[in-house]
Amino acid sequence: MEATIDKKYTFKDFASDQEVRWCPGCDDYVILRSMQKALPEMGVNKEDVVFISGIGCSSRFPYYIDSYGMHSIHGRAAAISSGVKLANPDLSVWMITGDGDSLAIGGNHFIHLLRRNLDINVILFNNEIYGLTKGQFSPTSLIGQKTKSSPYGNTQPPFHPGELALGAQARFFARLGGNSPKEMTALFVEAQKFKGTSLIEILQNCVIFNDGCFTQFTDKNVKEDKQLFLEHGKPMIFGKERDKGMVLNGLKLEVRTIGEEGITEQDILVHDAKCEDNTLHQMLVKLQYPLATGVIRSYQDTTFEEREEALNQEVKSHSSFSKVDELFFSGETYEVK
């Protein structure tokens, strides 16, 4: 969509009159504020923005954005968003979902949305727990995690959302900690500019039922040492001292210290988010140390609606019917006199 925007917005233009009802201290507030800041930067008209959510804490999100929105039913936001986008490809469609909504009950719609590659932006709030139903394990909960439905520890191995998404042919995948508002705002704008399904996983802390589950990566004291913030075309360097980097050793991504064992910056891998082959992206999403954040994959491909539109034009150019009467009275008709 090439927006010809005739209005200047501020974040207030996108704040609805509804009182926000998340728990105090929830990362959801950060995400909401980042979105309200990002929307004026996107070059889209307010009336063209649509937020669709499923069910879960995160899915209240559309009520708090002053645009068009639908808080739908559990797991189905991907299919509803697809319908909105297919009906009107000019809209900027945002899908708000969580680890339960999209990786459990809505798993089927989620993978098919990614496979088809509609131009929809998806924000997956991953808190590794069910919040709204008050504390059961989710498909991203860790093995051994004690929750209300796993009092002796979870026995179901978790999904890694990035791995699942790349397996479903995601063209755009990014990950961020829930406490990174500045990067988040920029990422939302980037997702809007990307043509195709953009999936952003936010590691969102649930202060009530799974507090601190991401602290080991996201705490501001360890963040720089534990996260590899990826940028396309830049070397994969991280650490407070910017002295750690990634190298490929056989089929493994490994951490090396620049200046040790003869390693120089030249030896460090340069991030290519835009390549079609997602092998390295797969390795990055699975890394535990450091945790890869930022835009891991951003491969520009034809969108579903572009394929459909091309086909529509082709069929139209060959069809002899433009009105239904022409169809109804065509072919094998006969007269009764």
Partner 1 sequence: MNLNNIEPMDKEIESLSAVVIRFVGDSGDGMQLTGTQFTDTSAMFGNDVATFPNYPAEIRAPQGSLYGVSGFQVHIGSVEISTPGDDLDLLVAMNPAGLKTNFASVKPGHTIIVDIDSFTKKNLQKAEYESNPLEDGSLENYRLIEVSMTSMTKEALKDLGLDNKSITRSKNMFALGIVYWMYNRDMNYTLNFFDEKFKYKPTVAEANAKVLRAGYYYAETLELIPNAYKIAPSTMPKGTYRIINGNMATAWGFLAAAEKAGLELFLGSYPITPATDILHELVKHKNFGVKAFQAEDEIAGVTSSIGAAFAGDLAITTTSGPGLALKGEAIGLALMTELPLVIVNVQRGGPSTGLPTKTEQSDLLQAMYGRNGESPVIVIAASTPADCFDYAYEAAKLTLEHMTPVILLTDGYIANGSEPWKIKSINDMADIKHRQITAASESWHPYDRDNDTLSRNWAVPGSPGLEHRVGGLEKDKITGNVSYVPDNHEYMTNIRAEKVKRVENNIPDLKAEYHEEGDLLVIGWGGTYGSLHSAVRSLSTDDQKIGHAHFYYLNPFPKNTHEVLSRFKKVVVCELNKGQLAFILRGKYPDIDFIQYNKVMGLPFSVTDLVAKFNNIIKED
For partner 1, the binding residues (CB under 8 A) are 16, 18, 45-50, 52, 55, 62-63, 66-73, 76, 78-88, 90-91, 108-109, 112, 308, 311-312, 315-316, 319, 321-325, 327-329, 331-337
Nearer to partner 1, 224 or 306 (CB): 306
CB of 36 vs partner 1, minimal distance in Å:
14
CB of 84 vs partner 1, minimal distance in Å:
4
What is residue 136's three-state secondary structure?
strand
Nearer to partner 1, 72 or 147 (CB): 72
Nearer to partner 1, 44 or 186 (CB): 44
Distance CA 270, CA 1 (A): 31
For residue 84, give the H/E element and its range.
Answer: helix 77-87
CB of 326 vs partner 1, minimal distance in Å:
10
CB of 27 vs partner 1, minimal distance in Å:
22
322 by Cβ neighbours in 10 Å (0-12 / 13-18 / 19+) ranks as: exposed
Provide the CA 335 distance to its chain's centre, in angstroms. Answer: 58
CB of 100 vs partner 1, minimal distance in Å:
16
Beta bridge partners of 228: 292
Distance CA 172, CA 232 (A): 12
CB of 95 vs partner 1, minimal distance in Å:
10
179 in Cβ contact with 226 (< 8 Å)? no
Residue 194: which of 174, 216, 212, 172 has the closest Cα? 172
The secondary structure of 223-286, three-state, reads HHHHEEEECCCCECEECCCCCEEEEEECCEEEEEECCCCCCCHHHCCECCCCCCCCHHHHHHHH
Distance CA 126, CA 323 (A): 49
Nearer to partner 1, 251 or 324 (CB): 324
Nearer to partner 1, 257 or 319 (CB): 319
Nearer to partner 1, 25 or 83 (CB): 83
CB of 7 vs partner 1, minimal distance in Å:
9
Nearer to partner 1, 29 or 63 (CB): 63
